[in-house]
A and B are shown apart, each in its own frame.
Chain A
Amino acid sequence: MRQLAIIGRTVLGLLAAIGRVSLFAWGALTHLIRPPFYPREIGIALLHIGWLSLPVVGLTAIFTGGALALQIYAGGARFNAEAVVPQIVAIGMVRELGPVLVGLMIAARVTSSIAAEIATMKVTEQIDALVTLSTHPMKYLTVPRVLAGTLTVPFLVGVGDIIGIFGGYAVATGTLGFNAAAYIQNTVDFLEFTDISSSLAKGAVFGFIATLMGCYFGMNSGRGAQGVGRATKGSVEAAAVLILAANFVLTGVFFSL
Protein backbone atom coordinates (compact mmCIF):
# COMPACT_ATOMS: atom_id res chain seq x y z
CA MET A 1 0.00 0.00 0.00
CA ARG A 2 2.67 2.47 1.03
CA GLN A 3 4.71 1.75 -2.12
CA LEU A 4 1.61 2.28 -4.22
CA ALA A 5 0.98 5.61 -2.57
CA ILE A 6 4.56 6.67 -3.21
CA ILE A 7 4.34 5.64 -6.86
CA GLY A 8 1.01 7.42 -7.18
CA ARG A 9 2.35 10.60 -5.66
CA THR A 10 5.44 10.53 -7.85
CA VAL A 11 3.41 10.03 -11.01
CA LEU A 12 0.97 12.78 -10.06
CA GLY A 13 3.84 15.10 -9.18
CA LEU A 14 5.49 14.37 -12.50
CA LEU A 15 2.29 14.98 -14.45
CA ALA A 16 1.69 18.22 -12.57
CA ALA A 17 5.24 19.35 -13.38
CA ILE A 18 4.76 18.51 -17.06
CA GLY A 19 1.55 20.50 -16.99
CA ARG A 20 3.20 23.51 -15.40
CA VAL A 21 6.13 23.46 -17.81
CA SER A 22 3.74 23.12 -20.78
CA LEU A 23 1.70 26.08 -19.59
CA PHE A 24 4.88 28.07 -19.14
CA ALA A 25 6.05 27.15 -22.64
CA TRP A 26 2.66 28.08 -24.05
CA GLY A 27 2.82 31.41 -22.23
CA ALA A 28 6.25 32.08 -23.69
CA LEU A 29 5.00 31.28 -27.20
CA THR A 30 1.94 33.51 -26.97
CA HIS A 31 4.01 36.40 -25.63
CA LEU A 32 6.48 35.90 -28.44
CA ILE A 33 3.99 37.10 -31.01
CA ARG A 34 2.27 39.86 -29.03
CA PRO A 35 3.81 43.32 -28.60
CA PRO A 36 5.52 45.05 -26.91
CA PHE A 37 8.79 43.58 -28.09
CA TYR A 38 12.15 44.27 -26.51
CA PRO A 39 14.71 44.30 -29.34
CA ARG A 40 17.52 45.40 -27.02
CA GLU A 41 16.94 42.44 -24.73
CA ILE A 42 16.81 40.13 -27.72
CA GLY A 43 20.12 41.54 -28.96
CA ILE A 44 21.78 40.98 -25.61
CA ALA A 45 20.40 37.45 -25.44
CA LEU A 46 21.66 36.66 -28.96
CA LEU A 47 25.11 37.85 -27.95
CA HIS A 48 25.25 35.92 -24.69
CA ILE A 49 23.59 32.72 -25.79
CA GLY A 50 24.90 32.49 -29.34
CA TRP A 51 28.09 34.38 -29.97
CA LEU A 52 29.73 33.95 -26.56
CA SER A 53 29.04 30.19 -26.59
CA LEU A 54 31.18 29.70 -29.68
CA PRO A 55 34.49 29.02 -27.89
CA VAL A 56 33.12 26.29 -25.64
CA VAL A 57 31.19 24.74 -28.53
CA GLY A 58 34.24 24.79 -30.78
CA LEU A 59 36.49 23.19 -28.18
CA THR A 60 33.94 20.51 -27.35
CA ALA A 61 33.48 19.67 -31.01
CA ILE A 62 37.12 19.57 -32.02
CA PHE A 63 38.16 17.19 -29.25
CA THR A 64 35.14 14.98 -29.80
CA GLY A 65 35.73 14.79 -33.55
CA GLY A 66 39.37 13.92 -32.96
CA ALA A 67 38.58 11.20 -30.43
CA LEU A 68 35.88 9.84 -32.71
CA ALA A 69 38.35 9.46 -35.58
CA LEU A 70 40.77 7.58 -33.33
CA GLN A 71 38.05 5.22 -32.07
CA ILE A 72 36.58 4.51 -35.48
CA TYR A 73 40.00 3.82 -36.85
CA ALA A 74 40.85 1.43 -34.02
CA GLY A 75 37.42 -0.24 -34.11
CA GLY A 76 37.34 -0.41 -37.91
CA ALA A 77 40.80 -2.02 -37.98
CA ARG A 78 39.33 -5.13 -36.35
CA PHE A 79 37.50 -5.98 -39.56
CA ASN A 80 39.63 -4.12 -42.09
CA ALA A 81 37.28 -1.17 -42.34
CA GLU A 82 39.67 1.63 -41.39
CA ALA A 83 38.70 3.47 -44.56
CA VAL A 84 35.26 4.41 -43.23
CA VAL A 85 36.66 6.97 -40.80
CA PRO A 86 35.55 10.06 -42.81
CA GLN A 87 32.03 8.76 -43.34
CA ILE A 88 31.43 7.64 -39.77
CA VAL A 89 32.96 10.76 -38.27
CA ALA A 90 30.70 12.87 -40.48
CA ILE A 91 27.55 10.95 -39.72
CA GLY A 92 28.36 10.55 -36.03
CA MET A 93 29.09 14.24 -35.57
CA VAL A 94 26.28 15.62 -37.68
CA ARG A 95 23.50 13.27 -36.70
CA GLU A 96 24.17 12.75 -33.00
CA LEU A 97 27.24 14.09 -31.28
CA GLY A 98 27.13 17.60 -32.68
CA PRO A 99 23.59 18.42 -31.60
CA VAL A 100 23.72 16.46 -28.33
CA LEU A 101 27.05 17.78 -27.12
CA VAL A 102 26.27 21.33 -28.12
CA GLY A 103 22.87 20.98 -26.44
CA LEU A 104 24.48 19.73 -23.23
CA MET A 105 27.14 22.42 -23.27
CA ILE A 106 24.40 25.01 -23.70
CA ALA A 107 22.55 23.45 -20.78
CA ALA A 108 25.71 23.77 -18.71
CA ARG A 109 26.63 27.24 -19.79
CA VAL A 110 23.41 29.03 -20.67
CA THR A 111 20.63 27.26 -18.76
CA SER A 112 22.52 27.59 -15.49
CA SER A 113 23.25 31.25 -15.99
CA ILE A 114 19.69 32.10 -17.03
CA ALA A 115 18.27 30.23 -14.04
CA ALA A 116 20.67 31.81 -11.57
CA GLU A 117 20.11 35.30 -12.95
CA ILE A 118 16.33 35.12 -13.03
CA ALA A 119 16.16 33.36 -9.65
CA THR A 120 18.29 36.11 -8.13
CA MET A 121 15.99 38.68 -9.67
CA LYS A 122 13.05 36.87 -8.15
CA VAL A 123 14.65 36.65 -4.71
CA THR A 124 15.61 40.33 -4.70
CA GLU A 125 12.11 41.41 -5.81
CA GLN A 126 13.35 42.58 -9.21
CA ILE A 127 10.63 40.50 -10.90
CA ASP A 128 8.01 42.21 -8.73
CA ALA A 129 9.59 45.53 -9.61
CA LEU A 130 9.30 44.71 -13.32
CA VAL A 131 5.61 44.04 -12.88
CA THR A 132 5.02 47.33 -11.08
CA LEU A 133 6.84 49.09 -13.91
CA SER A 134 4.24 47.69 -16.33
CA THR A 135 6.68 45.25 -17.88
CA HIS A 136 5.65 41.64 -18.24
CA PRO A 137 8.50 39.41 -16.97
CA MET A 138 7.56 36.79 -19.53
CA LYS A 139 8.00 39.24 -22.39
CA TYR A 140 11.02 41.02 -20.99
CA LEU A 141 12.97 38.06 -19.62
CA THR A 142 11.70 34.78 -21.06
CA VAL A 143 10.84 35.63 -24.65
CA PRO A 144 14.21 37.18 -25.62
CA ARG A 145 16.14 34.28 -24.11
CA VAL A 146 14.00 31.51 -25.56
CA LEU A 147 13.97 33.21 -28.94
CA ALA A 148 17.73 33.64 -28.91
CA GLY A 149 18.24 30.03 -27.84
CA THR A 150 15.98 28.65 -30.54
CA LEU A 151 17.59 30.77 -33.24
CA THR A 152 21.25 30.52 -32.30
CA VAL A 153 21.69 26.96 -31.10
CA PRO A 154 21.08 25.53 -34.62
CA PHE A 155 23.82 27.85 -35.79
CA LEU A 156 26.07 26.68 -32.95
CA VAL A 157 25.29 23.07 -33.85
CA GLY A 158 26.22 23.78 -37.47
CA VAL A 159 29.52 25.26 -36.34
CA GLY A 160 30.04 22.34 -33.97
CA ASP A 161 29.38 19.84 -36.76
CA ILE A 162 31.93 21.49 -39.02
CA ILE A 163 34.57 21.84 -36.32
CA GLY A 164 33.95 18.26 -35.18
CA ILE A 165 34.47 16.98 -38.70
CA PHE A 166 37.56 19.11 -38.92
CA GLY A 167 38.83 17.54 -35.66
CA GLY A 168 38.39 14.12 -37.22
CA TYR A 169 40.06 15.32 -40.40
CA ALA A 170 43.02 16.74 -38.48
CA VAL A 171 43.59 13.51 -36.60
CA ALA A 172 42.99 11.30 -39.64
CA THR A 173 45.28 13.21 -41.97
CA GLY A 174 47.81 14.12 -39.30
CA THR A 175 48.38 10.80 -37.58
CA LEU A 176 46.36 8.08 -39.32
CA GLY A 177 47.76 8.64 -42.80
CA PHE A 178 44.58 9.65 -44.64
CA ASN A 179 44.79 11.68 -47.83
CA ALA A 180 43.45 15.17 -47.15
CA ALA A 181 41.58 15.72 -50.42
CA ALA A 182 40.08 12.24 -50.36
CA TYR A 183 38.94 12.70 -46.76
CA ILE A 184 37.03 15.83 -47.61
CA GLN A 185 35.60 14.31 -50.77
CA ASN A 186 34.40 11.26 -48.86
CA THR A 187 32.78 13.40 -46.20
CA VAL A 188 30.98 15.65 -48.67
CA ASP A 189 29.80 12.74 -50.82
CA PHE A 190 28.52 10.80 -47.87
CA LEU A 191 26.48 13.41 -46.01
CA GLU A 192 22.89 13.79 -47.10
CA PHE A 193 20.60 16.74 -46.80
CA THR A 194 18.53 15.12 -44.04
CA ASP A 195 21.68 14.59 -41.96
CA ILE A 196 22.27 18.30 -41.92
CA SER A 197 18.67 19.44 -41.63
CA SER A 198 17.99 17.01 -38.78
CA SER A 199 21.10 18.28 -37.03
CA LEU A 200 19.96 21.89 -37.22
CA ALA A 201 16.38 21.00 -36.28
CA LYS A 202 17.67 19.20 -33.20
CA GLY A 203 19.68 22.31 -32.39
CA ALA A 204 16.55 24.46 -32.49
CA VAL A 205 14.66 22.10 -30.21
CA PHE A 206 17.55 21.80 -27.76
CA GLY A 207 18.04 25.56 -27.73
CA PHE A 208 14.37 26.00 -26.93
CA ILE A 209 14.51 23.41 -24.14
CA ALA A 210 17.71 24.78 -22.61
CA THR A 211 16.55 28.38 -22.44
CA LEU A 212 12.99 27.52 -21.44
CA MET A 213 14.19 25.42 -18.51
CA GLY A 214 16.49 28.19 -17.33
CA CYS A 215 13.62 30.67 -17.36
CA TYR A 216 11.11 28.27 -15.84
CA PHE A 217 13.27 27.28 -12.89
CA GLY A 218 14.42 30.86 -12.37
CA MET A 219 10.90 32.24 -12.31
CA ASN A 220 9.78 29.52 -9.90
CA SER A 221 12.75 29.83 -7.59
CA GLY A 222 12.30 29.50 -3.84
CA ARG A 223 13.44 32.18 -1.44
CA GLY A 224 17.00 33.05 -0.45
CA ALA A 225 20.38 31.90 -1.70
CA GLN A 226 19.26 28.31 -1.25
CA GLY A 227 16.34 28.92 -3.59
CA VAL A 228 18.70 30.23 -6.26
CA GLY A 229 20.97 27.20 -5.84
CA ARG A 230 18.09 24.76 -6.14
CA ALA A 231 16.67 26.54 -9.16
CA THR A 232 20.01 26.45 -10.94
CA LYS A 233 20.63 22.80 -10.21
CA GLY A 234 17.10 21.81 -11.18
CA SER A 235 17.25 23.75 -14.43
CA VAL A 236 20.44 22.09 -15.63
CA GLU A 237 19.22 18.62 -14.67
CA ALA A 238 15.89 19.12 -16.38
CA ALA A 239 17.44 20.67 -19.49
CA ALA A 240 20.04 17.90 -19.87
CA VAL A 241 17.57 15.07 -19.40
CA LEU A 242 14.96 16.65 -21.67
CA ILE A 243 17.58 17.29 -24.36
CA LEU A 244 18.66 13.65 -24.32
CA ALA A 245 15.07 12.44 -24.35
CA ALA A 246 14.14 14.82 -27.16
CA ASN A 247 17.20 13.66 -29.09
CA PHE A 248 16.03 10.07 -28.87
CA VAL A 249 12.57 10.99 -30.09
CA LEU A 250 13.90 13.19 -32.91
CA THR A 251 16.36 10.56 -34.06
CA GLY A 252 13.44 8.14 -34.23
CA VAL A 253 11.38 10.62 -36.21
CA PHE A 254 14.13 11.52 -38.68
CA PHE A 255 15.86 8.22 -39.28
CA SER A 256 13.58 5.29 -38.59
CA LEU A 257 10.22 6.37 -39.94
Chain B
Amino acid sequence: MITLDNVHKSFGSNHVLRGVNLHVAKGTSMVIIGGSGTGKSVAIKTVLGLVIPDSGTITVDGTDVTKADRDAFLARFGMLFQGGALFDSLPVWQNVAFRLLRGSLAKPRDEAREIAIEKLRRVGLTPDVADRLPAELSGGMQKRVGLARAIAAEPEIIFFDEPTTGLDPIMAGVINDLIREIVTEMGATTMTITHDMTSVRTIADNVAMLHAGKIRWTGPVSDMDAAGDPYVDQFIHGRAEGPIEAVR
Protein backbone atom coordinates (compact mmCIF):
# COMPACT_ATOMS: atom_id res chain seq x y z
CA MET B 1 0.00 0.00 0.00
CA ILE B 2 2.75 2.45 1.00
CA THR B 3 5.99 2.13 -0.88
CA LEU B 4 9.17 4.16 -0.53
CA ASP B 5 11.55 3.64 -3.39
CA ASN B 6 15.14 4.82 -3.12
CA VAL B 7 14.24 7.93 -1.10
CA HIS B 8 17.03 10.40 -0.42
CA LYS B 9 16.92 13.48 1.82
CA SER B 10 19.69 15.78 2.99
CA PHE B 11 19.61 18.88 5.14
CA GLY B 12 22.65 20.79 3.97
CA SER B 13 25.59 18.44 4.48
CA ASN B 14 23.57 16.17 6.75
CA HIS B 15 22.61 13.21 4.55
CA VAL B 16 19.75 11.80 6.53
CA LEU B 17 18.07 9.38 4.13
CA ARG B 18 20.36 7.68 1.62
CA GLY B 19 18.15 5.42 -0.40
CA VAL B 20 15.32 4.15 1.77
CA ASN B 21 13.27 1.28 0.36
CA LEU B 22 10.26 0.17 2.33
CA HIS B 23 6.90 -1.45 1.71
CA VAL B 24 3.93 -1.48 4.03
CA ALA B 25 1.04 -3.74 3.03
CA LYS B 26 -2.58 -2.72 3.50
CA GLY B 27 -4.00 -3.46 6.93
CA THR B 28 -0.64 -4.25 8.50
CA SER B 29 1.38 -2.61 11.19
CA MET B 30 4.93 -1.63 10.35
CA VAL B 31 7.23 -0.61 13.18
CA ILE B 32 10.34 1.39 12.42
CA ILE B 33 13.19 1.13 14.87
CA GLY B 34 16.60 2.76 14.84
CA GLY B 35 18.82 5.03 16.88
CA SER B 36 17.68 8.55 17.62
CA GLY B 37 18.60 10.99 14.89
CA THR B 38 18.72 8.33 12.18
CA GLY B 39 15.86 9.96 10.27
CA LYS B 40 12.84 7.90 11.28
CA SER B 41 10.65 10.95 11.74
CA VAL B 42 11.93 12.45 8.49
CA ALA B 43 11.10 9.21 6.67
CA ILE B 44 7.44 9.18 7.68
CA LYS B 45 7.14 12.90 7.04
CA THR B 46 8.24 12.34 3.45
CA VAL B 47 5.19 10.13 2.94
CA LEU B 48 2.88 12.92 4.07
CA GLY B 49 4.67 15.52 1.97
CA LEU B 50 5.76 17.46 5.07
CA VAL B 51 9.36 16.88 4.02
CA ILE B 52 10.04 16.85 0.30
CA PRO B 53 12.59 14.16 -0.65
CA ASP B 54 15.56 15.15 -2.80
CA SER B 55 15.03 12.07 -4.97
CA GLY B 56 13.17 8.80 -5.02
CA THR B 57 9.46 8.06 -5.28
CA ILE B 58 6.78 7.40 -2.70
CA THR B 59 3.52 5.78 -3.71
CA VAL B 60 0.34 5.12 -1.79
CA ASP B 61 -1.98 2.60 -3.49
CA GLY B 62 0.22 2.88 -6.54
CA THR B 63 -0.24 6.65 -6.91
CA ASP B 64 2.75 8.93 -6.61
CA VAL B 65 2.12 11.07 -3.54
CA THR B 66 3.35 14.20 -5.30
CA LYS B 67 0.68 13.74 -7.98
CA ALA B 68 -2.23 12.83 -5.72
CA ASP B 69 -5.05 15.29 -4.97
CA ARG B 70 -3.73 16.75 -1.74
CA ASP B 71 -7.00 17.12 0.17
CA ALA B 72 -8.33 13.67 -0.65
CA PHE B 73 -4.92 12.20 0.09
CA LEU B 74 -4.54 13.81 3.50
CA ALA B 75 -8.11 12.97 4.49
CA ARG B 76 -7.02 9.31 4.58
CA PHE B 77 -4.22 9.95 7.07
CA GLY B 78 -3.83 10.50 10.77
CA MET B 79 -0.56 11.37 12.41
CA LEU B 80 0.72 11.50 15.96
CA PHE B 81 3.73 13.81 16.08
CA GLN B 82 6.74 13.05 18.24
CA GLY B 83 6.19 16.21 20.29
CA GLY B 84 2.40 15.99 20.30
CA ALA B 85 2.06 19.17 18.24
CA LEU B 86 -1.20 20.16 19.93
CA PHE B 87 -2.67 23.54 19.04
CA ASP B 88 -2.04 25.42 22.24
CA SER B 89 -4.71 28.04 21.57
CA LEU B 90 -7.47 25.42 21.51
CA PRO B 91 -8.86 23.38 24.41
CA VAL B 92 -8.12 19.66 24.39
CA TRP B 93 -11.44 18.52 22.96
CA GLN B 94 -11.20 20.94 20.04
CA ASN B 95 -7.73 19.61 19.33
CA VAL B 96 -9.06 16.06 19.21
CA ALA B 97 -12.10 17.03 17.16
CA PHE B 98 -10.16 19.46 14.95
CA ARG B 99 -11.00 17.61 11.78
CA LEU B 100 -14.60 17.06 12.79
CA LEU B 101 -15.18 20.76 13.37
CA ARG B 102 -14.21 22.02 9.92
CA GLY B 103 -13.70 21.06 6.32
CA SER B 104 -15.16 18.11 4.43
CA LEU B 105 -15.58 15.89 7.52
CA ALA B 106 -17.37 18.55 9.57
CA LYS B 107 -19.99 17.38 12.06
CA PRO B 108 -22.28 19.29 14.45
CA ARG B 109 -20.37 20.71 17.40
CA ASP B 110 -22.08 18.56 20.05
CA GLU B 111 -21.46 15.39 18.12
CA ALA B 112 -17.82 16.33 17.53
CA ARG B 113 -17.40 16.91 21.25
CA GLU B 114 -18.96 13.54 22.06
CA ILE B 115 -16.55 11.82 19.68
CA ALA B 116 -13.61 13.72 21.15
CA ILE B 117 -14.50 12.66 24.68
CA GLU B 118 -14.93 9.07 23.57
CA LYS B 119 -11.50 9.11 21.88
CA LEU B 120 -9.97 10.67 24.98
CA ARG B 121 -11.38 7.83 27.02
CA ARG B 122 -9.80 5.34 24.65
CA VAL B 123 -6.36 6.81 25.30
CA GLY B 124 -6.98 6.69 29.04
CA LEU B 125 -7.98 10.31 29.68
CA THR B 126 -11.02 11.32 31.70
CA PRO B 127 -13.63 13.70 30.28
CA ASP B 128 -12.55 16.48 32.64
CA VAL B 129 -9.41 17.12 30.59
CA ALA B 130 -11.60 17.98 27.59
CA ASP B 131 -11.93 21.65 28.47
CA ARG B 132 -8.37 22.20 29.61
CA LEU B 133 -5.68 23.79 27.46
CA PRO B 134 -2.80 21.60 26.24
CA ALA B 135 -0.28 23.65 28.24
CA GLU B 136 -2.00 22.55 31.45
CA LEU B 137 -1.30 18.86 30.75
CA SER B 138 1.80 16.78 31.43
CA GLY B 139 3.95 15.63 28.51
CA GLY B 140 2.52 12.12 28.61
CA MET B 141 -1.04 13.42 28.67
CA GLN B 142 -0.32 15.71 25.71
CA LYS B 143 1.04 12.73 23.82
CA ARG B 144 -2.16 10.83 24.43
CA VAL B 145 -4.28 13.79 23.33
CA GLY B 146 -2.19 13.83 20.16
CA LEU B 147 -2.94 10.15 19.74
CA ALA B 148 -6.66 10.75 20.24
CA ARG B 149 -6.51 13.48 17.60
CA ALA B 150 -4.73 11.17 15.14
CA ILE B 151 -7.45 8.53 15.40
CA ALA B 152 -10.46 10.84 15.85
CA ALA B 153 -11.61 10.82 12.23
CA GLU B 154 -10.89 7.07 11.94
CA PRO B 155 -8.41 7.39 9.08
CA GLU B 156 -7.26 4.41 7.02
CA ILE B 157 -3.59 5.12 7.45
CA ILE B 158 -2.09 6.25 10.74
CA PHE B 159 1.46 7.18 11.64
CA PHE B 160 2.56 7.14 15.26
CA ASP B 161 5.84 8.85 16.06
CA GLU B 162 7.04 7.47 19.40
CA PRO B 163 3.58 6.94 20.90
CA THR B 164 4.80 5.62 24.25
CA THR B 165 7.80 7.85 24.90
CA GLY B 166 7.24 9.70 28.15
CA LEU B 167 4.49 7.40 29.40
CA ASP B 168 4.56 5.23 32.49
CA PRO B 169 4.76 1.46 31.77
CA ILE B 170 1.08 0.86 32.47
CA MET B 171 -0.08 3.66 30.22
CA ALA B 172 2.43 2.52 27.59
CA GLY B 173 0.77 -0.90 27.74
CA VAL B 174 -2.66 0.69 27.25
CA ILE B 175 -1.45 2.61 24.22
CA ASN B 176 0.29 -0.39 22.69
CA ASP B 177 -2.91 -2.42 22.99
CA LEU B 178 -4.90 0.45 21.51
CA ILE B 179 -2.67 0.68 18.45
CA ARG B 180 -2.81 -3.06 17.95
CA GLU B 181 -6.58 -2.89 18.24
CA ILE B 182 -6.81 -0.14 15.66
CA VAL B 183 -5.02 -2.36 13.19
CA THR B 184 -6.85 -5.59 13.88
CA GLU B 185 -10.34 -4.16 14.46
CA MET B 186 -10.46 -1.13 12.22
CA GLY B 187 -8.22 -2.61 9.56
CA ALA B 188 -6.04 0.48 9.50
CA THR B 189 -2.58 0.53 7.98
CA THR B 190 -0.07 1.93 10.46
CA MET B 191 3.55 2.95 10.69
CA THR B 192 4.89 3.34 14.20
CA ILE B 193 8.24 4.68 15.29
CA THR B 194 9.42 3.45 18.64
CA HIS B 195 12.46 2.66 20.75
CA ASP B 196 10.48 0.55 23.15
CA MET B 197 10.96 -3.17 22.47
CA THR B 198 7.77 -4.08 24.34
CA SER B 199 5.90 -1.80 21.96
CA VAL B 200 7.58 -3.42 18.99
CA ARG B 201 6.49 -6.87 20.07
CA THR B 202 2.91 -5.78 20.82
CA ILE B 203 2.29 -3.55 17.83
CA ALA B 204 4.28 -4.90 14.93
CA ASP B 205 3.40 -7.21 12.11
CA ASN B 206 6.62 -6.20 10.43
CA VAL B 207 9.70 -4.41 11.63
CA ALA B 208 12.18 -2.27 9.73
CA MET B 209 15.41 -0.99 11.16
CA LEU B 210 16.75 2.29 9.85
CA HIS B 211 20.48 2.76 10.11
CA ALA B 212 22.89 5.07 8.29
CA GLY B 213 20.16 6.38 6.02
CA LYS B 214 19.02 2.98 4.78
CA ILE B 215 16.75 0.17 5.86
CA ARG B 216 19.25 -2.14 7.48
CA TRP B 217 16.84 -5.01 8.02
CA THR B 218 13.15 -5.62 7.50
CA GLY B 219 10.95 -8.62 8.12
CA PRO B 220 8.14 -10.07 10.20
CA VAL B 221 8.41 -9.38 13.92
CA SER B 222 8.66 -13.14 14.57
CA ASP B 223 11.91 -13.23 12.61
CA MET B 224 13.43 -10.28 14.44
CA ASP B 225 15.16 -12.23 17.20
CA ALA B 226 16.66 -14.64 14.72
CA ALA B 227 17.51 -11.96 12.17
CA GLY B 228 21.19 -12.72 12.59
CA ASP B 229 22.00 -9.09 11.94
CA PRO B 230 24.46 -7.70 14.49
CA TYR B 231 22.90 -4.21 14.21
CA VAL B 232 19.40 -5.49 14.93
CA ASP B 233 20.71 -7.71 17.74
CA GLN B 234 22.51 -4.83 19.39
CA PHE B 235 19.44 -2.64 19.14
CA ILE B 236 16.88 -5.08 20.49
CA HIS B 237 19.10 -6.06 23.38
CA GLY B 238 20.18 -2.51 24.06
CA ARG B 239 23.89 -3.26 24.23
CA ALA B 240 26.40 -0.43 24.37
CA GLU B 241 28.94 -2.59 22.52
CA GLY B 242 28.42 -3.56 18.92
CA PRO B 243 28.58 -2.26 15.37
CA ILE B 244 26.34 0.76 16.11
CA GLU B 245 28.46 3.52 17.52
CA ALA B 246 27.31 4.96 20.82
CA VAL B 247 28.51 8.42 19.81
CA ARG B 248 26.48 9.65 16.87
Contact = CB atoms under 8 A, between A and B. Distances in A.
Nearest to A128: B50
Most buried by B among A125, A128, A133: A133
Contact of A131 (B50, B78, B105): B50
A36 interface: yes
Interface string B83-109: 101111000000000110011110000
21 contacts: A38-B102, A124-B83, A124-B85, A125-B81, A125-B82, A125-B83, A126-B85, A126-B88, A128-B45, A128-B85, A129-B79, A129-B86, A129-B87, A130-B87, A132-B77, A133-B99, A134-B74, A134-B75, A134-B104, A135-B98, A135-B102
Nearest to A125: B85
B71 interface: yes
Interface string A111-122: 000000000010
Contacts of A135: 98, 102-103
A128 to B, nearest CB: 5
Nearest to B101: A40
A134 B71 CA distance: 6
Given A125-B81, A128-B45, A134 B87 contact: no
Interface of B: 45, 48-50, 71, 74-75, 77-79, 81-83, 85-88, 98-99, 102-105, 149
Contacts of B71: 134
A135 B85 CA distance: 14
Given A126-B87, A130-B87, 18 more contacts: A38-B102, A124-B85, A125-B81, A125-B83, A125-B85, A126-B88, A128-B45, A128-B48, A128-B50, A129-B79, A129-B81, A132-B48, A132-B79, A133-B74, A133-B99, A133-B149, A134-B99, A134-B103
Interface residues of A, number: 14
A132 B87 contact: no
B71 to A, nearest CB: 6
B50 A132 contact: yes
Contacts of A134: 71, 74-75, 99, 103-105
Contacts of A38: 102
A125 B74 CA distance: 16
A126 B98 contact: no
B103 to A, nearest CB: 5
Interface of A: 36, 38, 121, 124-126, 128-135
Nearest to A36: B103
Contacts of A130: 87
B139 to A, nearest CB: 13
B137 to A, nearest CB: 14
Contacts of B83: 124-125
A132 B80 CA distance: 10
Contacts of A36: 102-103
B48 A131 contact: yes
B115 to A, nearest CB: 14
A153 B99 CA distance: 32
Contacts of A129: 79, 81, 85-87
Contacts of B82: 125
A148 to B, nearest CB: 15
Contacts of B79: 129, 132
A134 B106 CA distance: 12
Contacts of A131: 48-50, 74
A124 B79 CA distance: 14
A205 to B, nearest CB: 28
A121 B186 CA distance: 31
A134 B78 CA distance: 10
B39 to A, nearest CB: 16
Nearest to B98: A133
Nearest to B103: A134
B78 A132 contact: yes
A121 B86 CA distance: 9
Contacts of A121: 87
A133 B105 CA distance: 10
A135 B153 CA distance: 14
Nearest to A140: B102
A126 B49 CA distance: 15
B235 to A, nearest CB: 26
Contacts of B88: 126
A36 B50 CA distance: 21
A191 B5 CA distance: 70
A195 B103 CA distance: 44
B65 to A, nearest CB: 13
A134 B49 CA distance: 12
A38 B49 CA distance: 24
A125 B41 CA distance: 12
